[in-house]
Amino acid sequence: MKKIGVPIGLGTDGVASNNVIDMFEEMRSAIFQQRSRTQRWDALDACTAFRMATLGGAECLGLEKHLGSLEAGKRADFVVVNLNDPAMHPIYDPVQAMVYSACRHNVRTTYVGGREVKNDPTEIMREFESIPKRLSEN
């Protein structure tokens, strides 16, 4: 597909088919699956997997002019990843460290359209906890 110019992106479609919803895990999975399929350790590298998860996804959706990379005139959708986790050290390359060692718990801040979005699950958890009570009342 890559050789004939088909855009390649990575993503997750939710808990219906994936229990974790972790793009770092998706990037690692893509790398290891390609290594297994081709029997080559260099079949897919971290930088290519990272691109597939960012700009590649935007290209698949026809939105590469608007998102997928940090450039003037594009939406500023991005996350800040804490690289201080001991599992990521030593860090020789930050992209490789994120792709091979980070997980969703290392995401400290999320920005959508240049504005910070809170990652606090407290409200969602309160809503989940109230569901059984509401169901028993009906």
Domain residue extents for the chain: 23-137
The pLDDT assigned to 63 comes to 94
Please choose, from the candidates 61, 60, 80, 62, the residue with its C-alpha nearest in 3D space to the C-alpha of residue 70: 80
Low-confidence ranges of the chain (pLDDT < 50): none
Q: How far apart are the first and last CA of the chain?
A: 52
CB distance 53 to 23 below 8 Å: yes
- CA 39 from chain centre, in angstroms, equals 25
The pLDDT assigned to 138 comes to 63
CB-count exposure of residue 92 (10 Å: 0-12, 13-18, 19+)? exposed
Q: Report the C-alpha gap between 98 and 105 in whole angstroms.
A: 12
Q: Write the pLDDT tens digit of every residue in 53-74.
A: 999 999 999 999 999 999 999 9
CB distance 24 to 75 below 8 Å: no
CB distance 81 to 98 below 8 Å: yes
Q: Report the C-alpha gap between 59 and 10 in whole angstroms.
A: 11
The pLDDT assigned to 8 comes to 94
Specify the pTM: 0.81
Tell me the longest C-alpha to C-alpha distance in the chain: 59
- What class, spelled out in words, does domain 23-137 have in CATH? mainly beta
